[in-house]
Amino acid sequence: MKFPKRPPPELWSKIKILARELRTSPTPAEDRLWQQLRRKHIGGMKFRRQHVFDRFIVDFYCPAALLVIEVDGESHNRQQEYDALRTEFLESLGLRVIRFKNEDVYQNLDGVLEMIGEALQRP
């Protein structure tokens, strides 16, 4: 699968720095989920965090399954249109996108992990 080329160099340098910052200071919900995704704990699949696709940074990405996982905090309530366009772009690349709210990760982590496991098994 071919993904879009990197954005122009001046934008790429900024996005790369932002992705690195996001990796070093995740939200508590992202960190909680990452502890379960790292080291191939779910189905033996490897995940990346704060992965860049064109001009977008996704929370988690499993290259083998072409699966993107987003953990949405309260700010996403105010940017639903942006999130929909972003999801549409990612899906146009052949990626599958699943979203969880922070509350899901805090209150039902086992259910979230089960849904991720099911998504990893689907083509």
CATH number at residue 96: 3.40.960.10
Question: Among positive and negative, which fits the CA dihedral 15, 16, 20, 23?
Answer: positive
Number of domains in the chain: 1
Question: What is the pTM assigned to this prediction?
Answer: 0.90
41 domain-assigned: yes
Spatial contact of 50 and 23, defined as CB atoms under 8 Å apart: yes
In this structure, which long-range contacts are made by residues 22-26, counting pairs with CB atoms below 8 Å and at least 24 apart in sequence?
A: 22/50, 22/57, 23/49, 23/50, 26/50
Q: Residue 12 burial by CB count (10 A; 0-12/13-18/19+): exposed, middle or buried?
A: middle
Residue 15 located in a structural domain: no
Domain that holds residue 110: 27-121
Q: What sign does the CA torsion over 122, 50, 16, 83 have?
A: positive
From first to last of its 123 residues, the chain has per-residue pLDDT tens of 666 667 788 888 899 999 999 999 999 999 999 999 998 889 899 999 999 998 899 999 999 999 999 999 876 556 788 889 999 999 999 999 999 999 999 999 999 999 999 999 987
Task: Please indicate, yes or no, if residue 2 is contained in any of the structural domains.
Answer: no
The residues, ordered by sequence, that sit 6+ positions from 96 with a Cβ below 8 Å of its Cβ are 65, 66, 67, 68, 119, 122
**Both tokens assigned to 122:** 């689907």
Confirm whether 61 is domain-assigned: yes
100: in domain: yes
Res 91: pLDDT? 94
- Cβ atoms of 12 and 57 within 8 Å: the answer is no
- Does 8 reside within a domain? no
The answer to the question of residue 3 being in a domain is no
Structure tokens, 120:
């990893």
Q: Is residue 68 part of a domain?
A: yes
